[in-house]
Amino acid sequence: MYMFVNAVKYQPHAKEPGIMPIYLSPDALDLSAIIRSGDTVLWGQGTSEPFTLTEALVRQRADIGPINIFMGLSFSNTVQPEHADYMSFTSYGGVGTNQRLGKAGLLEILPCHYSQLPALISDGRVKCDVVLIQLTPQNEDGEYSLGTVSDYLTDAARHARVVIAEVNDQAPWTYGGEALKEMRIDYIVRTSRPLLEINPQPAGGAPYFQSRNAIYP
């Protein structure tokens, strides 16, 4: 199983004094010069998916070579079964549009509790070479906000070889999560594009009746 790879203790990907990120143009984004064949790539899940980066990764997958993708919840159409020619997929669940990969037999499920992911990343059992993350622009204190989702991706970013941030001026600054200032970012792509919206669905069908019979502690 994916989680039982040989554990590699990653060194924290700390910000170094005097080291500044490299700014890349969205129109001339060449991920094949950054991401290596065989890398494992993690990206923001749900409404925090950095679309400029993930779409470029899918387009350029043949130039990069075979890579592994660890996905969280997905509600976008970025990844399709035909992209498995150069991409293999793992997630902690087949939720949302991950279902299409699962139905095609292309999604490996990591059997763990969601709360275990930071520890699995930190001790190397979930491999993490490259992180694609969406952030808000910096505030007056030089801090970034994670916007709509604060999760295990910050732990991944601290242990990855490369962190590429899509700084989207339409991403909302949110409080309560971690304000990022000391995390090292290697590359920044500035964008302005709407975030993914998830439309609520009316309750009904099998999921509704299953939920009525659920037993909660």
Domain count for the chain, please give it.
Answer: 1
Range of the domain at 107: 18-212
Residue 6 inside a domain? The answer is no
CATH number of the domain that 22 lies in? 3.40.1080.10
Tens digit of each residue's pLDDT (9 = 90 or more) over 11-51: 555 555 557 899 999 999 999 999 999 999 999 999 999 99
Distance CA 126, CA 72 (A): 13
Both tokens of 139, joined, read 């505030």
pLDDT over 70 at 2, yes or no: no
Residue 217 inside a domain? The answer is no
Q: What is the pTM of this model?
A: 0.86
Residue 11 inside a domain? The answer is no
Residue 5 inside a domain? The answer is no
pLDDT at 8: 47
Residue 8 inside a domain? The answer is no
Residue 104 inside a domain? The answer is yes
Tens digit of each residue's pLDDT (9 = 90 or more) over 76-133: 999 999 999 999 999 999 989 999 999 999 999 999 999 999 999 999 999 999 999 9
Residue with tokens 């700084």: 167
Residue 93 inside a domain? The answer is yes
Tens digit of each residue's pLDDT (9 = 90 or more) over 46-73: 999 999 999 999 999 999 999 999 999 9
Query: Between the CA atoms of 179, 185, 191 and 193, what dihedral angle is there, to the nearest 10 degrees?
Result: -50
DSSP category for residue 31 = G
- Burial zone of 24 (CB within 10 Å; 0-12 exposed, 13-18 middle, 19+ buried): buried
What's the mean per-residue pLDDT of the chain? 88
Tens digit of each residue's pLDDT (9 = 90 or more) over 170-195: 999 998 766 677 788 999 999 999 99
Residue 176 inside a domain? The answer is yes
